[in-house]
Chain A
Amino acid sequence: MPKHYRPPGKKKEGNSAKYSTRTKALRHLQVTLPTFRKLCILKGVFPREPKKKYEGNNKTYYHTKDIAFLLHEPLMDKLRDIRAYERKILKALAKKNEALAERLRSRKPGYTLDRLVKERYPTFIDALRDLDDCLTMVHLFAALPAVESEHIKVKDIHECRRLSHEWQAYISRTNKLRKTFISVKGTYYQVEVEGQKITWLTPHALQQVITDDVDFKVMLTFLEFYQTFLQFINFKLYTEINVNYPPSLDPRLEALGADQYALSKYIAGSSMAESQVGKEGMTVESELKLAQLQHQLPANEPGALMQLVEGSNGEDQDDDETRECKSLFKDLKIFLSREVPRESLLFVIPAFGGVVSWEGEGAPFQETDDGITHQIVDRPTQGHLFLSREYVQPQWIYDCVNARILLPTDGYMVGRVPPPHLSPFVDNEAEGYVPDYAEVVTRLKAEAKKEVLPMPGLENLDLDDPQSLMAEGIMSRTEAIEIAQKKIKMDKLEKQYHEELQKELQKLPYSAASSKKNVDSVDEEIKDNLDRSAKDVSDMDQIVRTRKQRGLMKAMEMGIEKKKAKVNLLKKRKENIAKAPASKSS
């Protein structure tokens, strides 16, 4: 008798009814494992975790509804047809009927994935939410070489380049880029489209290492879906800003490889035409609105109203952040020298309102242009130096973007080691450790906003009330904690001082040792007290918690400990680094 006997005629119930293992699913669907994988990738079906893994922990479980979903997928029939068709070709080849094989090859049936995109992402917002992986993959393939043996086709590579450039052109045009970060892996970008934060990674513009332990079949299946996906997204975004899609580019620029510039020119051109049309419409509309409003308002303020309408005319859709981003590099004319990441900078600088050109053909202006304010240079040797412009390293651009102010260029001059490049994705204060340069940047930002911050050197802070200071937003959390600690220390010292005074009054002989001991003992006493009370509290808490909560608590404490250890390590390293040159000099 089996382990769980089910009498005949009785339906399955529970987890075994809801879930099936992969093998069973394959048998049910009558497909091979590679086809199943492909279907899963295209349909976005993933394994799920049943409450009880009834066939063992090492199995993969799919929901039966997901499997039914795959079973009714027309794409599965299509894939079967294609497989049968391929056998036809093989047969023709085996019979040495080259002509037939060729003819069959030219009429291979294909399939489209747009229906699947719609099915997986019913609304546009859903689609944007899941765009991260898509963009990362498309940008990766845009940087890969076409490898025949791995079935990476030139067509795919070109398609990926086109799609990524289109996406970047849109972002750059609408100033939606928010954060950038150059890591060892590549460059991270974060944009905000329709309230969704989308982050992606592009590899450095270098020859990529193609390793053997990567199964390109899986990646290419993903890419197949992502290409369709991004294409429709781009279409939607382009139509939203009234630009035709797919864009038709200037063939000369395209041939030169300046796709991005060609695209941006195209978008600028077409949206300009649109905006002129739109402007007329808008003026009519605004006049109407004005008339309506004037009815409601007293007649003595038409001027103010006029301004209001005009103000709303220009940047009515832009939120504050976009406006801020738009004007960051507004008055700058930037020239890129050789050996800087050109594609990345051509994307980033216009996204923040800057004008940019590069060395090479098709560039909008030459190096000798008088209006150039900054030149991005990476290698210290320079030919002719123009005094009217500043020579900075590429990191300056990225740091400015993250700080949202124009940082002073001294640290970024050519030939110097630039200040550390910090990740904009880290909440330093939550992390518990603020790198020095982050503090410098916050100060510069505050200065730019004309806020007055307490100088770092002057410690005239009100130690009594760190909380009130915090409320004013002047101090960070860590500082507040430090100050609180300082206060405790000072209290201690004060106490000791009083004791000594008393002793003196009692004419007791003063001894350094005793006082020292005193301090220590007081120190220890306080520490012990604190420790004990904290321990007591935690013990008491332990008693009242449920087992689950205790486990949770333990996990949390471990997490906190880990974080603390990390911060301590960083602080220790910093101390060591500070010590090292000092010891060298002495």
Chain B
Amino acid sequence: MGFFNHQNLMKIHYQKKRNSDKKKNKVSMKSVGDDIIPAVEESDSSEDEVAPRNTIGNAPLNFYTDEEHIGYDISGKKIKKQARKDMLEAFLARSDYPWNTIYDEYNDEEVEIPKEWRKLIRRYLKGKTPHADVDPYPEYVDWVKHDAKHPLSNAPDPKRRFIPSKSEHKEVLRLVTGIRKGHIKFEPPKEEKRVYDLWGEDSSSTDKARHGLRYIPPPKMKLPGHEESYNPSLEYIPTQEEIDSYELMYEEDRPKFIPRRYDSLRKVPAYDKYLLESFDRCLDLVLRPRVGKKRINIDPESLKPKLPSHNDAVTTISVHVSGQWLASGSKDGTVRIWEVETGRCIKMWDVGEAVSCVAWNPVPECLILAISAGQDVLVLNTGLGSAEEQQRVSELLNIGAPSETDNADKSTSIMSWLQHDKHEGIWLKHIKTVTSVVWHRKGDYFSIVMPNGDSRAVLVHQLSKKFTQRIPFKLHGHPVSSVFHPSRRILFIATKKCVRVYDLSKGKLIKKLEPGVREISSIAIHPAGDNIIVGSREGKVCWFDMDLSSQPFKKLRCHPKDITNVAFHRSYPLFAASSEDGTAYVLHGMVYSDLNKNPLIVPLEILRGHTTTDGRGVIDCTFHPRQPWLFTAGSDSVIKLYCH
């Protein structure tokens, strides 16, 4: 019905257009009624009875546009044009009653549209059927009687209409037998993909290991930096010039990502390359060959080939009188000789045990090194120096084997002189651990200390005669170290509590120095011989003036931790103390020849540089014989040389 309506309306439009085209003798209103509603044709005829006022017939109306009349009436009189309504008035009239009147151009008059016509027009405009009494949805009446026989044929129903189908029966039988015999299977219910504990409970079973080749995990995606933030700091955003300069770069050098800044989170758009990037990642995972590579995250310094060095803490160092050679002993059982000027490792011996002390023979042309390691003391020919010197040294270190063994000294029971079979030198075997070796100034005697040796704790060996003697004094307490007086025949023996001074020629105790510290660790004597420094385990250094008293002249509290060694310089007024806290102090210690003047002690410098490993910092320190240089040996297996 709706369709019809629409078509009708179309018709009206069409008609109106045609009318306006014609603009002839027909009243447009009339033609409207005429065409659309054939149902009301009768009323139209009555309309026709009213004869038009004008009699011009089919003459075009525009002939009269410039005239004062519009035509002639039936009596031949001119029909005057009516005064034209002004536009406003016409508009108002029309807006008040939109469809009440219509202007008849032919007769030049306003014609009133009858009420029922107006109704029709209104219904038209609303898209309804023009007449209200037309029912667009009438009740459907089914005229055909379906249960009745078709009027075309009155034949009775065939048999097949009321007998069960044979073919169907066959089909059912086939299905039934098929199902019974299991030919036909029912569709199993679709099961959901099951989720279960794939990895199980125990993580230690053996089949957990991955089979086959080594798995190389894919590299993780790069984590974003500050510049990828939606709101990075201003300095991360490139300037316009920089962005322009990217255009000039090669494709591969061009930065893939240009930072941008959004002042609010809601303004951040979707990232347009997201899918592409994740697709690239997928391709990388499946197409790129993977290689297990070690990350290069190393210190450039480590690429330098290692200089020969000790593998463990350097426990002891000693400088030759000439200042040319430095000997060092380490916990790893090696003794090395270094050339001081170049830092080159000249020689190396492996003695097998942790080296406790090394000492150069103080005679310049006699290049002999004494080493104490464990219970052994080795006196070795270093093989340095001229051929003549070497000759002398090797003669000196040669033992005519059996002649010394029948030396029925008491000391033979505690030690023996042997020729070392591996290295060129003498091997002195002791019964207890030797901790220190000290040479006499003339290079013939050297004393050793065995802290657990009881009455034979301190021995003095004579190299030329291969002869050993023990100190004929009773020692009180554990000896720590011993030192010869630089000019006189006096031996200083430091025990844990005090320092005893023995006259070797007279064979008696001269003095007992009492530093009043908890435990003495080291001792050093001034080259003039009148002053001694003693280092203690509590970090104190005691300066003794031999001419004054047995009490220390000065106590210096310099280190927070144990002092490991103290040393005097041979020519400069300097002395040093090294400590386990990884530092070494260098102090100025001036001794005046004027006896009335007290020595002057001024701290000069703290030398840092060693790192503390396993609680031991600097283990040994010693001065260069001529230059104001200090060597320190650290537990970090490094020997350092400090120059002023």
Contact = CB atoms under 8 A, between A and B. Distances in A.
Interface string B256-284: 01011001111011111011111101110
A47 B290 CA distance: 7
Contacts of A181: 224, 229
B453 interface: no
Contacts of B265: 182, 340-341, 378, 393-395
Given A245-B195, A435-B235, 18 more contacts: A46-B285, A46-B289, A48-B290, A122-B207, A123-B199, A123-B208, A181-B229, A183-B224, A185-B271, A204-B268, A222-B285, A235-B198, A379-B266, A421-B230, A422-B226, A571-B235, A573-B236, A577-B235
A561 interface: no
B76 interface: no
A188 B276 CA distance: 18
Task: Give the interface SS of chain B, mostly helix, strand, loop or mixed.
Answer: loop
B234 A107 contact: no
A232 B239 contact: no
Interface of B: 187, 193, 195-199, 203, 207-213, 216-218, 220-221, 223-226, 228-237, 239, 257, 259-260, 263-266, 268-272, 274-279, 281-283, 285-291, 296, 300, 303-305
6 contacts: A136-B221, A182-B265, A218-B282, A222-B282, A245-B195, A570-B236
Contact of A40 (B196, B207, B286, B289): B286
A515 B228 CA distance: 49
A328 interface: no
A60 B283 CA distance: 14
A232 B197 CA distance: 7
A203 B230 contact: no
B264 A435 contact: no
B307 to A, nearest CB: 10
Given A133-B218, A422-B226, A209 B195 contact: no
B289 A49 contact: yes
A114 B193 CA distance: 10
B235 A207 contact: no
A570 B235 contact: yes
B290 to A, nearest CB: 5
Contact of B272 (A182, A209, A544): A209
Interface residues of A, number: 100
A184 B275 CA distance: 14
Nearest to A38: B286
The 9 closest A-B pairs by CB, nearest first: A425-B223, A206-B270, A420-B233, A47-B289, A574-B235, A183-B228, A573-B235, A124-B199, A421-B231
B217 A130 contact: yes
A219 interface: yes
A74 B291 CA distance: 28
A426 B226 contact: yes
A552 B294 CA distance: 13
Contact of A118 (B198, B231, B285, B286): B198
Nearest to A395: B265
Contacts of A418: 231, 263
Given A210-B275, A211-B276, A435-B233, A231 B199 contact: no
B549 to A, nearest CB: 39
Contacts of A557: 300
A440 to B, nearest CB: 11
A54 to B, nearest CB: 14
Interface stretch (A61-69, A89-97, A297-305, A357-365): A61-69
B212 A41 contact: no
A468 to B, nearest CB: 10
A92 to B, nearest CB: 17
A462 interface: no
A117 interface: yes
Given A209-B275, A552-B303, A124 B203 contact: yes
Contacts of B225: 423, 425-426, 431
A235 B193 CA distance: 13
Contact of A114 (B198, B221, B277): B198
A427 to B, nearest CB: 10
**Which of A60, A119, A219, A239 counts the most B-chain CB atoms under 10 A from its CB?**
A219
Contacts of A125: 203
A117 B228 CA distance: 34
**Which of B210, B223, B260 counts the most A-chain CB atoms under 10 A from its CB?**
B223
Nearest to A376: B265
A268 interface: no
A124 B263 CA distance: 42
Nearest to B257: A184
Contact of B300 (A61, A63, A107, A553): A553
**Which of A129, A246, A340, A417 counts the most B-chain CB atoms under 10 A from its CB?**
A417
Given A60-B289, A544-B304, A214 B276 contact: yes
A200 to B, nearest CB: 9
A219 B282 contact: yes
A47 B233 contact: no
B218 to A, nearest CB: 7
Contacts of B290: 46-49
Contacts of B228: 183-185, 423
A140 interface: yes
Given A183-B230, A395-B265, A421-B232, A545 B286 contact: no
Nearest to A574: B235
B613 to A, nearest CB: 16
A199 B222 CA distance: 10
A437 interface: yes
A69 B210 CA distance: 13
Given A188-B223, A188-B224, A46 B288 contact: yes
A122 B235 contact: no
Interface in A512-547: 541, 544-545
A119 B303 CA distance: 41
B281 to A, nearest CB: 7
Given A183-B229, A209-B272, A232-B195, A48 B289 contact: yes
A191 to B, nearest CB: 14
**Which of B265, B274, B285, B305 counts the most A-chain CB atoms under 10 A from its CB?**
B265
A544 B305 CA distance: 7
Contacts of A323: none
Contacts of A552: 296, 303
A279 interface: no
Contacts of A209: 270, 272, 274-275
A320 interface: no
B178 to A, nearest CB: 16
B223 A199 contact: yes
Contacts of A126: 210
Contacts of A576: 239
A112 interface: yes
A577 B211 CA distance: 58
Contact of B271 (A63, A204, A231, A553): A204
A120 B199 CA distance: 12
